[in-house]
């Protein structure tokens, strides 16, 4: 059962604001989707999880020093920057 | 002959210059994009500069590669250095990557001519292209219908001859479904076959880049060009060999499987077309094998749980600090981040972030995410077992044809159901190609899907090519765009 409080709590974790007037609608649509997701709980699950069956493995390489981007390039998309840093400031 | 071979011939025999060809594409885009909304950004200047380079090479008597001088487009979630890449989201407006995606590096080095960036559902989350911040793309067969999604812009552009080919991305069907809706070919490669470096992430264990083309030959040529090992992508494996040289192999004795579950709950006209395709395969000497794949019934919820969980994590990076949109008025850092995200993301994206956070949160993790991961293993195993018995699986791409505009946004669950035939391939990391296989009574295209075993691209493209030769009437052109 998805409650209004659940949605408020999840929104906080997700760093999203949900306006009061959208809360009921969103709770309802979340409930519908969760009901749908719940169909998997009728499934018989084997012990083999995805990780053991996928055959995928991590790819490793030597840790070599290579040229990277300049701080100017890295900062070029920042909405605000100052003195070669990203700017995060408290604005009232 | 496919569009790419045709263009190569026109260029090398000097029947047209690359500049003239590029200009005619740009003119057609200018003329039709208002109605189709396939492109969200046209890069004419850059395209003409590349065309000039190609023309110089040809004039100098140099040999040119197959993709050299071919006008094409990239989905707007594929990073292009210095060219705005937005994922069709407000939160990335103005973002200009400082590096190229590896696929674009590869094609750019071969002098493919990028005409622009194409429309998509916001962050590739949607099945109609209508969650795009720039509005949806129209279907070239009927502009009152959607082009599909999420790579709707690329499919619309290729279907309307506003590009010779497009690169899209496919997380749960986003290449194959719009290709099916627009009557063209779309290939979702095996997980790891094509580098995803520079593809802006939606769900990293499912995302894969692939081609959207007019013909099977074109899909094969583009796949062969981009399926290289890339050390910048830790999940990259590359593809050994090529698919083009075996396209025309005899398919006599090939075992083509039809899983009964794929035929349940699909529209009659779609089912009829799939069964007709099976008959064509029989006449080509293939053997049709019916079998059961009961694990498929859990594929859709498993997909949405895993995709949303990964999305909620991947989209945590949009904070208004490093790139993209930032809110105007705020009080403190937490408030700034929340406002930026709430104003920058659209409704569907927020819904999936919330859903993903829910299934990963304490108390629900075991019931949803962990269970879904286990079931994912069951689905992989079911496909592995199936490929012990058959070479290729034939299935519908979508249970229906392109819906009318505005239809998809009303009911999220109903929209999710359109992905039912495409998501299993992503869950299992397999290759799948969508090929046009008929039309409904209203003239809208129907697509079929050929699914292969892991790294079985050569086989499915071979099967697709033989079908294309036998049923060429299903590969119908539209009146739009550049006529080669």
CATH of the domain at B225: 3.90.1300.10
Cis peptide leading into residue B150 (ω within 30°) = yes
| pLDDT of the residue at B410 | 64
Element (H, E) at B339: helix B333-344
pLDDT-derived band at B31 (thresholds 50, 70, 90) equals very high
B369: which DSSP letter? I
Cα–Cα distances (Å) from B177 to B35, B233, B298, in that order, read 21, 26, 20
B278 φ/ψ angles, rounded to the nearest 5 degrees: -60, -40
Are the Cβ atoms of B377 and A40 closer than 8 angstroms? no
The answer to whether position B409 is within a domain reads no
Least confident of B208-217, B396-405, B409-418: B409-418
Domain count of the fold of chain B: 1
What is the mean predicted confidence (pLDDT) over B427-445?
Answer: 97
Q: Which of A15, A29, A45 sits opposite B341 (nearest CB)?
A: A15
Are the Cβ atoms of B368 and A40 closer than 8 angstroms? yes
Instruction: Inform me whether the C-beta atom of residue A7 falls under 8 Å from chain B C-beta atoms.
Output: yes
Q: Which of B321, B338, B367 sits opposite A88 (nearest CB)?
A: B321
Q: Does residue B256 contact residue B289 with C-beta atoms inside 8 Å?
A: yes
SS3 B246: helix
Are the Cβ atoms of A40 and B371 closer than 8 angstroms? yes
B213 φ/ψ angles, rounded to the nearest 5 degrees: -140, 170
Tokens 């296989």 -> residue: B437
Cis peptide leading into residue B392 (ω within 30°) = no
Structure token pair of residue B334: 């937490």
Are the Cβ atoms of A17 and B354 closer than 8 angstroms? no
Q: Is residue B247 predicted with pLDDT exceeding 90?
A: yes
The answer to whether position B65 is within a domain reads yes
Which chain B residues have a beta carbon less than 8 Å from that of A14? Answer: 312, 341, 353-354, 357
pLDDT-derived band at A53 (thresholds 50, 70, 90) equals confident
Question: pLDDT over 70 for what percent of chain B?
Answer: 99
Instruction: Inform me whether the C-beta atom of residue A92 falls under 8 Å from chain B C-beta atoms.
Output: yes
Are the Cβ atoms of A50 and B350 closer than 8 angstroms? no
pLDDT-derived band at A16 (thresholds 50, 70, 90) equals very high
Q: Does residue B255 contact residue B456 with C-beta atoms inside 8 Å?
A: no
The answer to whether position B237 is within a domain reads yes
Structure token pair of residue B423: 């998501």
Chain B residue nearest residue A59, CA to CA: B234
Q: Among residues B438, B428, B432, B439, which one has the least CA distance to residue B459?
A: B432
Q: Which of B323, B331, B372 sits opposite A92 (nearest CB)?
A: B331
d(CA B344, CA B350): 10
| pLDDT of the residue at B404 | 92
d(CA B191, CA B189): 6
Q: Does residue B377 contact residue B302 with C-beta atoms inside 8 Å?
A: no
B158: which strand partners? none
B32-91 residues touching A, CB cutoff 8 A: none
| pLDDT of the residue at B334 | 93
Active site residues of B: 75, 150, 174
d(CA B481, CA B28): 5
Are the Cβ atoms of A41 and B371 closer than 8 angstroms? yes
Interhelix angle for B216-226 vs B3-12, to 10°? 80
| pLDDT of the residue at B406 | 86
Interhelix angle for B347-360 vs A20-37, to 10°? 60
| pLDDT of the residue at B38 | 98
Q: Which of B305, B350, B380 sits opposite A37 (nearest CB)?
A: B305
Mutate to test the interface with A, among B322, B330, B365 (most CBs of A within 10 A): B322
d(CA B37, CA B462): 33
SS3 B480: coil
Chain B residue nearest residue A71, CA to CA: B98
The answer to whether position B228 is within a domain reads yes
B117: which strand partners? B41, B74
Q: Is residue B440 predicted with pLDDT exceeding 80?
A: yes
Which chain B residues have a beta carbon less than 8 Å from that of A30? Answer: 351, 354-355, 358
pLDDT-derived band at A47 (thresholds 50, 70, 90) equals low
> Hey, how many other C-beta atoms are within 10 angstroms of the C-beta on B96?
16
The answer to whether position B11 is within a domain reads yes
| pLDDT of the residue at B216 | 98
3-state secondary structure B179-244: HHHCCCEEEECCCCCCCCCCECCCCCCCCCEEEEECCHHHHHHHHHHHCCCCCCCCCCCCCCCCCH
Comparison of pLDDT for B367 and B3, the residue scoring more: B3
A28-67 residues touching B, CB cutoff 8 A: 29-30, 32-34, 36-41, 43, 45-46, 48-56, 58-59, 61
d(CA B249, CA B246): 5
Q: Is residue B412 predicted with pLDDT exceeding 80?
A: no
Q: What is the pLDDT of residues B165-215, one digit of tens each?
A: 999 999 999 999 999 999 999 999 999 999 999 999 999 999 999 999 999
ipTM for the whole complex: 0.92
Query: What is the rounded end-to-end Cα distance, in angstroms, of chain A?
Result: 39
Q: Among residues B305, B292, B273, which one has the least CA distance to residue B434?
A: B273
Torsion sign across C-alpha atoms A2, A8, A12, A18: positive
pLDDT-derived band at B288 (thresholds 50, 70, 90) equals very high
Q: Is residue B423 predicted with pLDDT exceeding 60?
A: yes
The answer to whether position B169 is within a domain reads yes
SS3 A59: coil
Q: Is residue A92 predicted with pLDDT exceeding 60?
A: no
SS3 B162: coil
| pLDDT of the residue at A58 | 74
B343-362 residues touching A, CB cutoff 8 A: 345, 350-351, 353-355, 357-359, 361
E runs forming strands in chain A: 81-82, 85-86
Question: pLDDT over 90 for what percent of chain A?
Answer: 47
Q: Does residue B73 contact residue B117 with C-beta atoms inside 8 Å?
A: yes
Q: How far is CA B398 from the centre of its chain?
A: 14
pTM: 0.96
Query: What is the rounded end-to-end Cα distance, in angstroms, of chain B?
Result: 11
Q: Among residues B161, B163, B178, which one has the least CA distance to residue B419?
A: B178
Comparison of pLDDT for B45 and A33, the residue scoring more: B45
Mutate to test the interface with A, among B375, B410, B412 (most CBs of A within 10 A): B375
Chain A residue nearest residue B235, CA to CA: A59
d(CA B438, CA B444): 8
pLDDT-derived band at B407 (thresholds 50, 70, 90) equals confident
| pLDDT of the residue at A51 | 76
Are the Cβ atoms of A77 and B367 closer than 8 angstroms? no
Q: Is residue B269 predicted with pLDDT exceeding 80?
A: yes
| pLDDT of the residue at A90 | 67
Chain A nearest-CA distance from B331, in A, is: 5
The answer to whether position B167 is within a domain reads yes
| pLDDT of the residue at B431 | 98
Q: Is residue B432 predicted with pLDDT exceeding 60?
A: yes
The answer to whether position B56 is within a domain reads yes
Are the Cβ atoms of B377 and A6 closer than 8 angstroms? no
B355-394 residues touching A, CB cutoff 8 A: 355, 357-359, 361, 367-368, 371-378, 380-381, 384
B88-127 residues touching A, CB cutoff 8 A: 94-96, 98-99
Which chain A residues have a beta carbon less than 8 Å from that of B377? Answer: 46, 48-54
d(CA B91, CA B325): 5
pLDDT-derived band at B409 (thresholds 50, 70, 90) equals low
Q: Among residues B244, B248, B251, B249, which one has the least CA distance to residue B280?
A: B251
| pLDDT of the residue at B418 | 86
* Residue numbers of the domain that contains B229: 3-253+462-474
Instruction: Inform me whether the C-beta atom of residue A13 falls under 8 Å from chain B C-beta atoms.
Output: yes
Mean pLDDT of chain B: 96
Q: Which of B338, B380, B413 sits opposite A32 (nearest CB)?
A: B413
Q: Does residue B75 contact residue B151 with C-beta atoms inside 8 Å?
A: yes
d(CA B465, CA B247): 6
How crowded is the C-beta side of B365, counted as CA atoms within 13 Å? 5
Which chain A residues have a beta carbon less than 8 Å from that of B351? Answer: 26, 29-30, 33
Least confident of A59-63, B18-22, B164-168, B303-307: A59-63
| pLDDT of the residue at A91 | 56
| pLDDT of the residue at B68 | 98
What is the mean predicted confidence (pLDDT) over B22-49?
Answer: 98
Are the Cβ atoms of A13 and B329 closer than 8 angstroms? no
């Amino acid at each position: 059962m998805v409650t209004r409080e659940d949605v408020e709590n999840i929104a906080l974790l997700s760093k999203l604001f949900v306006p009061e007037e959208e809360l009921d609608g969103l709770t309802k649509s979340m409930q519908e989707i969760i009901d749908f997701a719940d169909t998997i709980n009728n499934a018989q699950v084997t012990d083999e999880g995805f990780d053991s069956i996928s055959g995928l493995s991590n790819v490793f390489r030597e840790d070599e020093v290579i040229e990277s981007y300049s701080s100017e390039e890295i900062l070029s998309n920042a909405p605000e920057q100052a003195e070669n840093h990203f700017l995060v400031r408290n604005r009232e | 002959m496919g569009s790419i071979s045709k263009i190569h011939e026109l260029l090398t025999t000097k029947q047209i210059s690359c500049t003239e060809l590029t200009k005619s594409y740009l003119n057609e885009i200018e003329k039709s994009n208002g109605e189709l909304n396939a492109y969200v950004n046209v890069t004419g200047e850059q395209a003409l500069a590349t065309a000039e380079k190609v023309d110089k090479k040809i004039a100098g008597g140099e040999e040119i590669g197959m993709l050299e001088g071919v006008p094409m487009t990239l989905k707007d979630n594929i990073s292009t250095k210095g060219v705005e890449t937005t994922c069709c989201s407000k939160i990335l407006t103005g973002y200009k990557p400082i590096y190229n995606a590896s696929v674009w590096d590869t094609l750019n080095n071969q002098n493919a001519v990028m005409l622009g960036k194409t429309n998509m559902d916001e962050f590739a989350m949607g099945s109609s292209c209508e969650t795009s911040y720039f509005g949806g793309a129209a279907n070239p067969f009927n502009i009152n219908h959607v082009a599909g999604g999420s790579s709707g812009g690329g499919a619309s552009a290729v279907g309307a001859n506003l590009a010779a080919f497009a690169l899209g991305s496919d997380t749960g069907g986003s290449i194959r479904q719009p290709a099916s809706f627009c009557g063209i070919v779309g290939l979702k490669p095996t997980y790891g076959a094509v580098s995803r470096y520079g593809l802006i992430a939606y769900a990293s264990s499912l995302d894969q880049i692939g081609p959207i083309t007019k013909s099977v030959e074109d899909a094969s040529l583009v796949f062969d060009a981009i399926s290289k090992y890339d050390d910048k992508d830790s999940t990259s494996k590359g593809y050994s060999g090529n698919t083009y040289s075996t396209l025309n192999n005899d398919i006599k004795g090939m075992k083509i499987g039809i899983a009964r579950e794929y035929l349940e709950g699909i529209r009659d006209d779609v089912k009829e077309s799939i069964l007709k395709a099976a008959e064509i395969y029989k006449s080509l000497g293939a053997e049709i094998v019916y079998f059961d794949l009961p694990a498929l019934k859990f594929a859709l919820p498993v997909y949405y749980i895993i995709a949303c969980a990964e999305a909620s994590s991947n989209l945590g990076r949009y904070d208004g600090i490093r790139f993209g949109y930032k809110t105007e008025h705020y009080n403190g850092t937490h408030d700034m981040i929340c406002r930026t995200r709430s104003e920058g993301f659209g409704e569907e994206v927020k819904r999936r972030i919330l859903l993903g956070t829910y299934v990963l949160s304490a108390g629900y993790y075991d019931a949803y995410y962990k269970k879904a991961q286990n079931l994912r293993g069951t689905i992989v195993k079911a496909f592995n077992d199936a490929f012990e018995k058959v070479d290729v699986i034939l299935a519908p791409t979508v249970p229906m044809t392109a819906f009318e505009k505005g239809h998809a946004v009303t009911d999220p669950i109903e929209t999710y159901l359109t992905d039912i035939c495409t998501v299993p391939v992503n869950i299992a990391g397999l290759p799948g190609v969508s090929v046009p296989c008929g039309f409904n009574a209203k003239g809208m295209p129907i697509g079929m899907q050929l699914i292969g075993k892991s790294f079985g691209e050569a086989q499915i493209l071979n099967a697709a090519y033989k079908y294309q030769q036998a049923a060429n009437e299903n590969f119908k052109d539209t009146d739009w765009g550049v006529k080669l």
